[in-house]
Amino acid sequence: MKDHTVADALTVETRDGTLVVRLRGPWTLQTALSVDAAIRALADRAAASVTVDATSLSRLDSAGAWVIQRTVAQFDRRGVPVEIVGLDEGLQAILDKAAEHDQSADIAPAPTSSLLNFLERLGRRSVEGLHTGRNLLGLLGVVVVASGRIVVRPMTLRGTAVVAQIEATGVTALPIVGLLCFLVGVVLAYMGALQLTRFGAANLTVNLVGISVLREIGILLTAIIVAGRSGSAFAAQIGTMKVNQEIDALETMGLSVIDVLVLPRVIALIIVLPALTVFADVAGLVGGAMVCMFQLDMTIGQFLTQLSAGVTVWSFATGLIKAPVFALAIALVGCHSGLGVSGSAESVGRQTTRAVVESIFLVIILNAIFAIAFAKIGI
């Protein structure tokens, strides 16, 4: 019993309780649009089984394949067995590709409550943060293992790459680090002098500048600058290599991405950041000294004498202790973001921005942890 024909592309017959669906001609986007209403109605018909005869199917694109798979999925949900016969091998591959997507998944309705929206975003960000933290710990483990191999066989270290990264992340960063820390030292000393002079304690401006710059400002400002410069550079460089399939080429040649790209950057930054921190401390103290000379009529000798009396060795050491840890965090986040590029230019930009935000956030969190730990042990 022949039921109906839609645009010579779809014929439906019923034989002994079996629904026979014959597909003819090209099933492209235009055909899918014309038969969409009929094939939606077809999925609601009662049948013991369904046979799809694709012998006369000449062409198939993704739109046509999706319509067919949608109908098959609808019958499957009702428990009606569906058999597709006569389909060309090449067209079968297109149909199978459309089946990779879950046709049964319902689109979740948008939450109407602002509180629910906030909680949903918070939950998603929390889960993403946990996944990122897990991946960073995994990358840290791989880097530690690779570093162990270098300790055993020092000749495997790519010295040229390390030196190149030291120049790119350290030498070229000296002007911006020195200028910013100098200006911060100037502002800190000027504002401190204005307030302390009211209480007759102008000399304590030196203590304020020395402790602030050596313990916190120098290392924190340097780490943020390095995160913005080097962390983003790591993500952009590695991400661009991934887009250009250079990383795939390295793996094809049997080279380790960790040994070639990640480890030289990690080692270089661990070497560079303490040196930049010392330079930043000096620049900040010079800025503070200039304000004390012109604002408080101090001599260089008086400034140094007050500085040595008010600042201990641990004030300087705490900043240097933080530097390698901050450097490791910045390098790992930058390299991890670069390796996470999905293969498009948009992804490179997104991962580069993410590297800067995450590395600065991580640096601030680590700095807070160090501050609490040093306070607990009395440093």
Q: What is the Cα–Cα distance from 208 to 287, expressed in whole angstroms? A: 13
In this structure, are residues 50 and 14 in contact, taking their beta carbons and an 8 Å threshold? no
Q: What's the pLDDT score for residue 111?
A: 55
Retrieve residue 221's tokens.
Answer: 């400002």
DSSP string for residues in 39-90: HHHHTTS--SEEEEEEEEEEEE-HHHHHHHHHHHHHHHHTT--EEEES--HH
Q: What's the pLDDT score for residue 110?
A: 54
Q: Could you give the C-alpha distances from 312 to 210, 274, 316, in angstroms and in order?
A: 10, 18, 7
Tens of pLDDT along 170-207?
Answer: 999 999 999 999 999 999 999 998 888 888 888 888 89
Q: Pick 2-99's CATH classification: 3.30.160.270, 3.90.550.10, 3.30.70.640, 3.30.750.24.
A: 3.30.750.24
Q: What's the pLDDT score for residue 4?
A: 40
Q: What is the Cα–Cα distance from 175 to 168, expressed in whole angstroms? A: 13
Q: Within a 10 A sphere around the Cβ of 192, how many other Cβ atoms? A: 23
Q: What's the pLDDT score for residue 277?
A: 94
Helix, strand, or coil (residue 7): coil
The distance in angstroms from the start CA to the end CA of the chain is 92
Per domain, the residue ranges of the chain are 2-99, 140-377
Sign of CA dihedral 150, 154, 156, 157: positive
Listed as ranges, residues in the chain with pLDDT below 70 are 1-7, 99-112
Q: Within a 10 A sphere around the Cβ of 232, how many other Cβ atoms? A: 21
- Rg for the chain, CA atoms, rounded: 33
Q: pTM, whole model, 2 decimals?
A: 0.68
